[in-house]
Structure 1
Amino acid sequence: MIQHGYQGLKYKWRWREYSHDQQAEIAALAGRLNLNPMLLEVLYGRGHTSYEELSSFLFTPDTASHDPALLKDGTKAVERILRAIEHKEKILIAGDYDVDGITSTAVMMTCLLALGAQINFFLPHRTRNGYGLSAEVVEKAVSNSYSLIITVDNGITAFDAIKKSTQLGIDVIVTDHHQVHGEISGAYAIVNPCQESCGYPYKSLAGVGVSFKLMDLLYKTIGQTLPRRVYELLALGTVADVVPLHGENRYWVRRGLHLLRQEQCLAIRVLAENAGLDCRVLGSTDIGFSLAPQLNALGRLEDPRSSISFLLGSDEALVREFGLKLKDLNIKRRAIEKTVVDDVESYVKSGAIDLDSTYVIVADSENWPAGVVGLAASRIVSLFARPVILLHRTSDGKLKGSCRSIPEFNIFDGLKETADMLSSFGGHSHAAGLSFEQSRYDEFKERINAYAKSKLTKDDLVLKLDVDAHGCLGDFTDRFMDGMKYLEPFGSTNPEPTFMLKGLVLLDTPKIMKDVHVKCFVGGQDGAKRTILFFNRPDVISFFNNMGRGSLFNAVVSVRDNYFRSEHTLQVQGIDVGFDV
């Protein structure tokens, strides 16, 4: 296959062109699987090129889920937990303040309370406590007669806390999914598929996925069935943490969504109602963009501990009351996030950040809440196609913040390259957190940019749009959408498909809605006519206004089922526009 591309209004479009033999293979596979050829082209371009690979992806067999006993230290951890339950020992679950950490904690609480465990949990306040298990938490646990701590979605970098636990004689089981750097000595057990010599074949589980697999092993050990609610929590946390939705993650999210559409816990139902969503057709994008942000807002702006009683609660009045609070907090979070993004955009416009010489955007402020900088960093990456590190300046001389990156740059490796000047760091290739002294800001900025410059080219620092397939307006039918359901759930590594439509013509004057969205009615070369909606693309109006009457243009679009007040429509969403070159 040959890759082609050209510059659209905002993005550089990239697409593949296939040889005659490849086109014939795509058509044959589509016929064999009874799938629309455009959808087969999407999958073929994403590397699913054999019947076996396609079948596995489309139908996600049970073999996608692996034996939890393969987890290093998994059996040892289960035996210790069961012993604690038998002897009525006090167990503390030490979680995190994001949705992955919250749902990981809720999974543990759900499973262990059902077995009669003497259990409680601790979720850190982002500002007051900081990330992860700390020596202070260990000391408090000991003073309150806890004899076992289980970390979820954290712990792999809790060097001081584990050292303190050894000194005080309390057992710590670490369950985590973050990349390992440095060696933890003294933990009773470490359950993390990313650690060396762990035989678990799937390495991309979220923190809630690791918690789930450990509880799955425990319940298998005692011959019982996991509570139904854990599958809802697993789907929520996995999607929210933006881990790859392939392999085992895809399997469990798909199963969780199937259960959610049939019956939901009260908390999920309230979050969906807040967002105006129908749970009967709930999808992964609904979780990622509508449900999870509400729950995340709590840990970003306030104390996350009440999120557990919300997720596990059965008192409808209390759950609904708290749901309204989450809705309001999320509105507040969006406003703060916009302020941070606007600040960075102003730095670029003023030249304070020179994009010609900047490979990693690094910026800081004492006015940016630590809980929002990660979300803002993601937005800025999508604006400027560069890794972004945003830092909150604290009153005690520290800088604490979040990193987000582009596919071409491993931000975790970049932090390892500057580890000698960091107080702490952790994360993944695409997202990480860090802290260091304010006095080293200029040095850090210089070193991270120098490292990125050695790894990136100028072509890497361009906004790109990958086109999955070429099509026509008339291709988008209800039957087409039925086929696209087999490609779900969409998310990291499996984004919603994009389609290029060529030779479109405007049939009516485009309309701008709410100052930022554009609605246009167009005709295609196949005679079909449809409305295309461009969300948050006011610049498209100028493109259309400057276009000659009757001129043909191209568009890259996505297509989705839209449900509003129980009515179903097929919605074509525009992503970018351009002309043939």
Structure 2
Amino acid sequence: MKLQDNPCYIELDNYPIDFSPCHRRVLSGRQIDTATLKKPLTDLYSVSQLSQAKSAAIRLYDAIQAGQQIVLVGDYDADGATSTALVLSVLQPLGAKVVSFIPNRFEMGYGLSQAVVDAVLPLTPDIVMTVDNGITANAAVDSLKQHGVAVIITDHHLPTHCLPDADVIVNPNQPSCDFPSKCLAGVGVAFYVMLALRQIYRERGDARIDAVDYSALLALVAIGTIADVVELDYNNRILVEHGLKQLRHNRASIGINALLEVSGCDKKTLSVEEIAFQIAPRLNAAGRVADMQLGVDCLLAKTPMLAKDYALELDRLNRERKAIENEMKAQAQVWIEQIPTANQPVICLCDETWHEGVIGILAGRLKSRYQKTVFVFTQNNGLLKGSARAAEGVNLVQALNAMASDYPEMIRHYGGHAKAAGLSLLPAHFVQFSTLINPIIDAQLTANPPKQVVLTDGELLPYEMNVDNAIFLKTLEVWGNGMPMPRFRNTFFIDAIRGVGDNHAQLSLIEQQSGRHFKGIAFDKFKDYYKFRQNTHQIAYQLNVNHWQGKHQLSLQVIHIEE
């Protein structure tokens, strides 16, 4: 991999006079000018553009007026938890007869399954509404309809060839929807449906909707959107920017504030990166090793004491998840050393003892380390349950569609995004799947070869490498998937390097031009970077700020060392 400066696309004089050349270069390299910087909520795409959102809202309004039982079926990740909490935060103050149901991933599988149907029917629902799931639940929807239950699906995952026969489907990725942003997270779709419900209340002169604080919901939208790693396109950036504003100004729920406190996040400078690596893992831990109802309960907690208890339990579960992950990762390294993967674009691993809730994280870690598409399987109820993460240039759902088309008996069930997917196989099909998936992925990579470069925003001058600049860049824009955090390159002498934690590298760096000393950190790279000690290299890095005993200290997060 080579370092390469990102080209600038916009004239630099489009920016405010107090923007330094560094700040202008960062924004121009991402095609952001003053016309697209810090957009108001009024610039969001219209609710009317999201197909069937109004139909869903009308069904919900009528159900609330008639006192019908609504069962909200969520999902067991952070996107699903925030989606569930968001809808409950709107429907409950309106007097809706609503209960939520979060499937146990280990007993009921993914999303709206037949096991979920069997569990919710005793709740005597008139309407089942899904959030962040349901777009591939054809059989489960048919079963509910046979019992006289209306079904509203709100989802954002990619559909398969045949849509379920639901009463209403709200999903920007369904073929009939022209919504400009196809990257809405599940919580974003739920938010739009609740916006449509507000419109229906106002059209009908029903003032009860005024009791709902919609601006407070944006904190949930931001957390779920960031946690699900969807692309921060134009619309998502507006949602996340205003959600961050609520979080930074202490306008989030009691439960979210407790999570921020337990995570050690500074609200005033809270960033997308901190939500992704501090808040989201703690929420996700509930669904991975326990029950996601705990995460929903934390988000909706009514008292500070209860919220703190929930947040501390989520923190404990996250530590438990890390221990499980580290053990699985060590086992995976042994497997990888024993199988020939050098000339294959895919790594497929299976261990029936691995924890089903952690295989997705393991797949992601291995994908980042080996820059290959990774499938990780474990056994559950006689099936292999798998989680996949895609390398650059790979679309997982397209690959699994091709596999299902060419080998219809191979995959029992699958679904997800282009970059992350889940699937199930019969154990007898694992070896065949591992062989057949390679040419499918290889064909995608041939058609869309990955770039062998690490893009940077150029070299920083010595005086630009400081805490103030790091904080300014951190909050300048909404950084995340599709809008990468500013990264720079300079030449450093690597004076020392030592291992910390689980294969992390702590570096002592001397910048060549100025002779200044810097502390650096590289995650999961100690074994790869130790060979660079006592040598001079071009290094790509991000400016980070460490908070210690009330003081801010500059740290360089090393992204890549060029040989």
Equivalent of 1:490 in 448, 462, 479: 479
Is 1:417 aligned to 2:406, yes or no? no
Q: Distance in 1 between matches of 2:50 and 2:296?
A: 27
Matched with 1:382 is: 368
Q: Shift in Å at residue 300 of structure 1?
A: 0.6
Does the 8 A contact of 2:467 with 2:552 survive in 1? Answer: no
Distance 1:524 1:171, change over 3 A: same
Of residues 312-321 and 457-466 in structure 1, the stretch that sits farther from structure 2 once superposed is: 457-466
Equivalent of 1:544 in 516, 530, 533: 533
* Superimposed CA distance per residue, residues 334-371 of structure 1 (whole angstroms, 9 cap, x where no aligned partner): 11112222222212223x2x122321111111111111
Of residues 254-263 and 137-146 in structure 1, the stretch that sits farther from structure 2 once superposed is: 137-146
Counterparts of residues 490-509 of structure 1 (less than 5 Å): 490-502=479-491, 504-505=492-493
Equivalent of 1:348 in 336, 340, 355: 336
Q: Shift in Å at residue 460 of structure 1?
A: 5.2
Counterparts of residues 150-165 of structure 1 (less than 5 Å): 150-165=129-144
Matched with 2:86 is: 107
Residue identity in the other structure for 2:159? V
Q: Distance in 2 between matches of 1:114 and 1:201?
A: 31
Of residues 230-239 and 482-491 in structure 1, the stretch that sits farther from structure 2 once superposed is: 482-491
Instruction: Give the SS at the match of 1:54.
Output: coil
Tell me the TM-score normalized by structure 1: 0.88
Tell me the TM-score normalized by structure 2: 0.91
Q: Distance in 2 between matches of 1:387 and 1:535?
A: 20
Counterparts of residues 123-522 of structure 1 (less than 5 Å): 123-223=102-202, 224-225=209-210, 226-227=212-213, 228-263=215-250, 264-350=252-338, 352=339, 354-396=340-382, 398-419=383-404, 420=408, 421-457=410-446, 465-477=454-466, 480-481=469-470, 483-485=472-474, 487-502=476-491, 504-505=492-493, 513=500, 516-522=504-510
Provide the aligned C-alpha RMSD in A: 2.5
Instruction: Give the SS at the match of 2:33.
Output: helix
Q: Shift in Å at residue 62 of structure 1?
A: 3.5
Q: Shift in Å at residue 401 of structure 1?
A: 1.3
Q: Shift in Å at residue 479 of structure 1?
A: 5.3
Matched with 1:574 is: 558
Instruction: Give the SS at the match of 1:59.
Output: coil
Residue identity in the other structure for 1:44? S
Residue identity in the other structure for 1:566? G
Q: Shift in Å at residue 535 of structure 1?
A: 4.3
* Superimposed CA distance per residue, residues 234-285 of structure 1 (whole angstroms, 9 cap, x where no aligned partner): 1111111001112111111111111111113222222222222222322111
Distance 1:512 1:433, change over 3 A: closer
Q: Distance in 2 between matches of 1:364 and 1:66?
A: 43
Does the 8 A contact of 1:411 with 1:432 survive in 2? Answer: yes
Instruction: Give the SS at the match of 1:216.
Output: helix
* Superimposed CA distance per residue, residues 476-497 of structure 1 (whole angstroms, 9 cap, x where no aligned partner): 2455346524543221112222
Of residues 319-328 and 477-486 in structure 1, the stretch that sits farther from structure 2 once superposed is: 477-486
Of residues 387-396 and 558-567 in structure 1, the stretch that sits farther from structure 2 once superposed is: 558-567
Of residues 251-260 and 300-309 in structure 1, the stretch that sits farther from structure 2 once superposed is: 300-309
Q: Distance in 2 between matches of 1:141 and 1:166?
A: 13
Does the 8 A contact of 1:364 with 1:390 survive in 2? Answer: yes
Q: Distance in 1 between matches of 2:454 and 2:334?
A: 25
Q: Shift in Å at residue 113 of structure 1?
A: 0.2
Residue identity in the other structure for 1:356? A
Q: Distance in 2 between matches of 1:391 and 1:531?
A: 38
Q: Shift in Å at residue 319 of structure 1?
A: 2.5
Residue identity in the other structure for 1:530? F
* Superimposed CA distance per residue, residues 167-206 of structure 1 (whole angstroms, 9 cap, x where no aligned partner): 1111000000011113235311000111112132211100
Residue identity in the other structure for 2:387? S
Instruction: Give the SS at the match of 1:146.
Output: coil
Equivalent of 1:562 in 528, 546, 553: 546
Q: Distance in 2 between matches of 1:26 and 1:487?
A: 18
Residue identity in the other structure for 1:150? M
Does the 8 A contact of 1:409 with 1:452 survive in 2? Answer: yes
Q: Distance in 2 between matches of 1:201 and 1:122?
A: 31
Q: Distance in 2 between matches of 1:509 and 1:203?
A: 46
Instruction: Give the SS at the match of 2:126.
Output: strand
Of residues 263-272 and 422-431 in structure 1, the stretch that sits farther from structure 2 once superposed is: 263-272
Residue identity in the other structure for 2:403? T
Does the 8 A contact of 1:95 with 1:121 survive in 2? Answer: yes
Q: Distance in 1 between matches of 2:461 and 2:517?
A: 10
Q: Shift in Å at residue 526 of structure 1?
A: 4.2
Distance 1:314 1:567, change over 3 A: same
Distance 1:409 1:317, change over 3 A: same
Distance 1:89 1:394, change over 3 A: same
Q: Distance in 2 between matches of 1:17 and 1:84?
A: 53
Q: Distance in 1 between matches of 2:497 and 2:324?
A: 31
Q: Shift in Å at residue 58 of structure 1?
A: 2.2
Instruction: Give the SS at the match of 1:471.
Output: coil
Matched with 1:6 is: none
Of residues 476-485 and 325-334 in structure 1, the stretch that sits farther from structure 2 once superposed is: 476-485
Distance 1:146 1:531, change over 3 A: closer
Distance 1:17 1:135, change over 3 A: closer
Q: Distance in 2 between matches of 1:107 and 1:36?
A: 39
* Superimposed CA distance per residue, residues 526-567 of structure 1 (whole angstroms, 9 cap, x where no aligned partner): 45543334444334343224x3xxxx4322111023333332
Distance 1:207 1:458, change over 3 A: closer
Distance 1:472 1:459, change over 3 A: farther
What residue ranges of structure 1 are gaps of 5+ in the alignment? 1-11
Residue identity in the other structure for 2:385? K
Distance 1:362 1:569, change over 3 A: same
Distance 1:28 1:526, change over 3 A: farther
Distance 1:393 1:509, change over 3 A: closer
Distance 1:37 1:375, change over 3 A: same
Q: Shift in Å at residue 38 of structure 1?
A: 2.8
Residue identity in the other structure for 2:197? L
What residue ranges of structure 2 are gaps of 5+ in the alignment? 203-208
Distance 1:485 1:249, change over 3 A: same
* Superimposed CA distance per residue, residues 108-162 of structure 1 (whole angstroms, 9 cap, x where no aligned partner): 1110001000000110001101111123433444443210110000010010111
